[in-house]
């Protein structure tokens, strides 16, 4: 229901109520919520709501970190998305550490020529160049 109220009804307060209920029911086993938060982040980013997207990506990342799967490709993906959302309002220099962490995870678990690594490297290099020109 939280997804519905966030994406369809655009009622953040009602969505937060349902997410709080879900967290309470799931207790420490809330990893399933990470995927929902991730996709809501994607939705809000595409709807030109980078600040709201950043909130959902941050929540997804916090859950993933608690799961302690350090080389999880989903965590790397969340880090990249969080960086893109955050760059929209904090600037490119503020997200280089997030992108660096995503690259470290990807390089540790994927072949060197994997498209995910190449894409993240490109985003990192673009952000670094933008940060240097400011």
Q: Tokens standing for 92? A: 């490119």
How far is C-alpha 24 from the geometric centre of its chain's CA atoms? 22
pLDDT tens by residue, 6-56: 766 777 778 778 777 777 777 766 777 888 889 999 999 999 889 999 999
DSSP classification of residue 110: S
Give the model's confidence band at 71: pLDDT under 50 very low, under 70 low, under 90 confident, else very high.
confident
CB 20 within 8 A of CB 33: no
Which residues lie below 8 Å from residue 1, measured CB to CB, with a gap of 6+? 15, 18
Question: Locate tokens 């020109």: which residue?
Answer: 133
pTM flag (> 0.75): yes
Position 12 scores a pLDDT of 73
Q: Tokens standing for 37? A: 């938060």
Position 79 scores a pLDDT of 97
């Amino acid at each position: 229901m939280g997804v519905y109220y966030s994406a369809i009804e655009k009622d953040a307060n009602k969505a937060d109520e349902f997410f709080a209920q879900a967290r309470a029911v799931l207790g420490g086993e809330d990893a399933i919520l990470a995927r929902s938060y991730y996709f809501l982040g994607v939705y809000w980013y595409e709807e030109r709501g980078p600040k709201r997207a950043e909130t959902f990506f941050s929540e997804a990342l916090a859950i993933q970190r608690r799961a302690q799967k350090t080389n999880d490709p989903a965590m790397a993906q969340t880090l990249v998305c969080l960086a893109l959302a955050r760059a929209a309002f904090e600037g490119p220099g503020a997200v280089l550490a997030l992108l660096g962490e995503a690259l470290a995870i990807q390089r540790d678990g994927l072949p060197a020529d994997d498209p995910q690594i190449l894409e993240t490297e490109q985003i990192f290099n673009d952000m670094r160049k933008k940060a240097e020109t400011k």
